[in-house]
Amino acid sequence: MTYKKAAELLLVSKTTLHSYIKAGKLTKYNMIDGGKPYLRISKIEALMKNSRRVNPNLSYRNLKRA
């Protein structure tokens, strides 16, 4: 998942998302061919379950359709 979509799901800024990565709450993965870094959906969903800021009506499936 891109940083932009992850930030939308978690209702945080990209700066906060980078802070989560630095704090070890999320792990950044890099594409093998040198593409953009990404975050795993399962890790985002796990963080969403423990967050009070997440919009309960917003899910990855809903965001994917947009």
Q: What is the pLDDT of residues 16-26, one digit of tens each?
A: 999 999 999 89
State the CB neighbour count (10 A cutoff) for residue 55.
12
Which helix (H) or strand (E) covers residue 45, if one does? Answer: helix 41-49
- Show the domain range for 28: 3-65
CA-wise closest residue to 5 among 41, 30, 46:
41
Structure tokens at 66: 């947009």
Q: How many domains does the chain have?
A: 1
Q: What is the pTM of this model?
A: 0.68
Distances (CA, A) of 16 to 33, 35, 36, 62: 27, 22, 18, 22
- Determine the pLDDT at residue 56: 55
